[in-house]
Chain A
Amino acid sequence: MADLIAKSPCEGLLPVTIGGISLTEEQPGSMWALAPFKGQEKALGKALEAAHGMAFPAVNRATGKAGSRAVWFGREMALLMGPEPDANLAEHAALTDQSDAWAVVRLEGAGAEDVLARLVPVDLRPHVFKRGHTVRTELKHMMASVTRTGPQAFQIMVFRSMAKTLVHDLKTAMEAVTARG
């Protein structure tokens, strides 16, 4: 049998550090979209709480912690990142495996907001966009999910096929922000 070698979306592209800002690839584990059936939102919330210890995220919010997160991912949808979804969740929601579909990176350091301000048309400054806040938006014309995971840290996701573009655009913005001194 062929010996398959797993390759992460940003392999060979990251990590990169420019000035005080670092860009690294995240290995979030499995990623599943949870889309509650009609009228099952509350039941799904309870099942998620019981199985994985986190609430179903409200609009523009993420719950859980590093390694086991639920990120709001669009209308009536959340992305479970980390654990394999408990079988009970399938009674209340459509579950879709998206583990290999997304490139996930972490942008961290002083000035991370300034980098994203060049690429994302949403206000991500810390007094508006706090830890646990998330947005579905665009990043240089790519559909993206941006979540604040720390005081100076963001988790950024785009489709896997756009990983190289994502890294290129983020690097360019990091260089431009750093050059301003």
Chain B
Amino acid sequence: MRITCPLCGERDRREFYYKGAALVRPAEGEDLDAWHQYVNLRENPAGPLDELWYHEMGCNSWLKVTRNTATHEILAVQLASEAGLGGQK
């Protein structure tokens, strides 16, 4: 499995650390349900899934990687900072 880092280029999977699903963070003041959903509830699709990966051994960027969980095909890679996941810009 290889991931094309937007900065470093195509790299082996062993350079990356896996975090989990890439979810949009609820805005400030959202109700408990939204936070419960964000913190605890996960989809588990057999197909494309947005995930967070960290290029630990490379440029130290967090990436939003769209991966097919059934085939491990990498469909899209983007810097997490540019993926509109919320938090401070």
Residues of A near any B CB (own CB < 8 A): 59-60, 74-75, 121-122, 135-138, 143-144
- Least Cβ–Cβ distance between B88 and chain A, in angstroms: 12
A110 to B84, CA, bound (A): 48
The answer to whether B7 touches A75, judged by C-beta atoms less than 8 angstroms apart, is yes
Q: Which residues of B contact A121 (CB under 8 A)?
A: 11-12, 14-15
Contact-size category for B: 10 to 19
Selected from B9, B11, B60, the residue in CB contact (under 8 A) with A75 is: B60
Q: Which residues of B contact A122 (CB under 8 A)?
A: 11-12
The answer to whether B57 touches A60, judged by C-beta atoms less than 8 angstroms apart, is no
Selected from B8, B12, B56, the residue in CB contact (under 8 A) with A60 is: B8
The answer to whether A59 touches B7, judged by C-beta atoms less than 8 angstroms apart, is yes
Those 7 A-B pairs whose CB atoms lie nearest each other, nearest first: A121-B12, A138-B57, A75-B59, A74-B60, A136-B58, A75-B61, A74-B59
- Least Cβ–Cβ distance between A118 and chain B, in angstroms: 14
Selected from A59, A60, A75, A138, the residue in CB contact (under 8 A) with B15 is: A138
Residues of B near any A CB (own CB < 8 A): 7-9, 11-12, 14-15, 56-61
Would you mind naming 16 contact pairs between A and B with Cβ atoms under 8 Å apart?
A59-B7, A59-B59, A60-B7, A60-B9, A74-B59, A75-B61, A122-B11, A135-B8, A136-B59, A136-B60, A137-B11, A137-B15, A137-B57, A138-B14, A138-B15, A143-B56
Q: Which residues of B contact A137 (CB under 8 A)?
A: 11, 15, 57-58
Q: Which residues of B contact A60 (CB under 8 A)?
A: 7-9
Q: Which residues of B contact A138 (CB under 8 A)?
A: 14-15, 57
Chain B residue with Cβ nearest A75: B59
Chain A residue with Cβ nearest B81: A75
Question: 17 additional contacts, CB 8 Å, given A136-B8, A138-B14?
Answer: A59-B7, A60-B8, A60-B9, A74-B60, A75-B60, A121-B14, A121-B15, A122-B11, A122-B12, A135-B8, A136-B57, A136-B58, A136-B60, A137-B11, A137-B58, A143-B57, A144-B57
Q: Which residues of A contact B56 (CB under 8 A)?
A: 143
